[in-house]
A and B are shown apart, each in its own frame.
Chain A
């Protein structure tokens, strides 16, 4: 085989691998009678089955990665008894959760107590449906995709309230209110950052935002992802911090800091309902990581042009896995914040900085035609516009915070 035919064969192989899902879909539809409503139904069911299987298994694998990873960070082996290298641990955990007794407090609001965990998982799955995992793996392709994402996510706050209130336990209620205060505060920077990406892309549709980042510069090595612009780096950092807080992850895991307030709004939950909350939380993390990948890391696109032969449905899970590892790394590294520090951080630092970010995006879009040495000015200007306010606000916030004085505890 000469090199030329080898290239052609290789390219056709890559194209076939890329279109594999759509061909499987067509093959399944070909087996059925040609009724339009049946095809519509089967397409929808296939999307649901794929989302449930993929994210369900991903969730299972992330839990075992997290437990093993945290073990390594803390210089211990982590789970290593079930299956090869402890890889079957999540399935053992699931069986344990199902078998546990489900205790409902006698005075609890039984209906809401039951609905709350279901709602958490349900809305988590709703947000996952919009994340574009590949050109043929976009379950919902809506014109207003970003808006849909936040609309579906907004309802998960209701589930937390329901959990806290229906338990008929004042500590559950108080900590659910605290959790809500945290979620509402950090939703604002999250939204503002998404707005700045929407402004840069000129579209609210998530596949549209991905399509805007699917080209390469410098001979196909450097991707044109939003993360590789001065505003993109800052925006991603803000979005990531807000995502940590939105999903109750360390260092913002005070709604259910085990060592301090039992389990917050989940105190009265046990067995499988508790596992459902756990699952909903991880679905939320996966959804926010998927959003971050879509907004900043070029979605399903390969980082270099010559790597395009690897199909898009491999790239997206790889990026998702790396984002989750970032979550785990931060959990193993940082300490928990106090609630007043948390609120101050959101309202006094993240919200102003995300507003500044909007201005910088506008500047970046306006100066798109600057060339030559002006391009350097463009980069430096955008960077300075981001960094100087950060420095000023940060200095102002940390003013007077020297060694701690214990006013009341002497």
Chain B
């Protein structure tokens, strides 16, 4: 077994393990923090695959920003600092939901694999040289429209959230 494969297996165990423990934990803050560990695992998988840009972007967006949204959401909505998740969902319903969502993900993955044209020969093609410059030029050239659309979408979402928040404040003032 090569060193590279061993590292991959370790990363996979860390990522999946922390995600599994996060799902099993009752303490929701610890679960959220373990989810962050899982995201770091995914980032290290990207690093393992030699995709620096994606790895750092993953850390910046998920570990830096999304984790904050999750934690702020938890802290602002839960009453007690240590609270146990109390759901009215029965274990059987949870099992059904879990199997259904896992099945959907599996379906998407299998569909993706079947749809990919794999190379017929066993000879290895030379690894493409991907430097930051090439990624930047691609993003500003071929995929410029996609980037603009994503940016506009996020801006609209941000403005929408501001409008929603300020509306609530007005309501509260009226109630007073």
Query: Within the assembled complex, what's the spacing in Å between the Cα atoms of A142 and B60?
Result: 16
Q: Is A161 an interface residue (CB 8 A)?
A: yes
B5 close to chain A: CB less than 8 A: no
Contact present for B75 and A177 (CB under 8 Å): yes
Check: B53 CB closer than 8 A to any chain A CB. yes
Stretch at the interface among A15-23, A151-159, A361-369: A151-159
Measured between beta carbons, the chain B residues less than 8 angstroms from A162 are 33
Which residues does chain B contribute within 8 Å of A165, judged by CB atoms? 29, 75, 81
The chain A residue sitting closest to B40, CB to CB, is A155
Task: Tally inter-chain residue pairs, CB-CB below 8 A.
Answer: 67
Q: List 15 A-B contacts (CB under 8 A).
A: A109-B29, A109-B30, A147-B53, A148-B52, A151-B60, A154-B59, A154-B60, A154-B63, A154-B64, A155-B59, A162-B33, A165-B81, A173-B81, A177-B72, A177-B75
B168 at interface by CB-CB < 8 Å: no
In the complex, whether A203 has a CB less than 8 A from a CB of chain B is: yes
Give the nearest-CB partner of B130 in chain A.
A143
Contact with A along B65-82 (1 / 0, CB 8 A): 101100110010000011
Closest to A180 in B: B68
Considering the complex, which residues of chain B in the window 68-105 have a beta carbon less than 8 Å from any beta carbon of chain A? 68, 71-72, 75, 81-82
Please classify the interface of chain A as helix (H, G, I), strand (E, B), loop, or mixed, using the class held by over half of its residues.
Answer: helix
B56 touches A151 (CB 8 A): yes
Count how many chain A residues have C-beta atoms less than 8 Å from C-beta atoms of the other chain: 27
| Chain B residue contacts of A384, Cβ below 8 A | none
Q: Give me the interface of B with A, judged by CB distance under 8 Å.
A: 29-30, 33, 36, 52-53, 56-57, 59-60, 63-65, 67-68, 71-72, 75, 81-82, 131-133
Most buried by B among A148, A161, A184: A161
The interface residues of chain B lying within 8 Å CB-to-CB of A205 are: 132
| Measured CA separation A184–B60 after assembly (Å) | 12
In angstroms, Cα B57 to Cα A203, docked, is 16
Q: Is the CB of B67 within 8 A of A143?
A: no
Which residues of B are found within 8 Å of A148, using beta-carbon distances? 52, 56
**Which residue of chain A lies nearest to B65 when distances are taken between CB atoms in the complex?**
A154
Taking CB atoms, residues of chain A closer than 8 Å to B68 are 157, 161, 180, 184
Shortest 5 CB-CB distances between A and B: which pairs?
A154-B64, A151-B59, A147-B56, A151-B56, A151-B60
Q: Is the CB of B72 within 8 A of A112?
A: no
Bound complex: CA of A329 vs CA of B128, how far in Å? 50
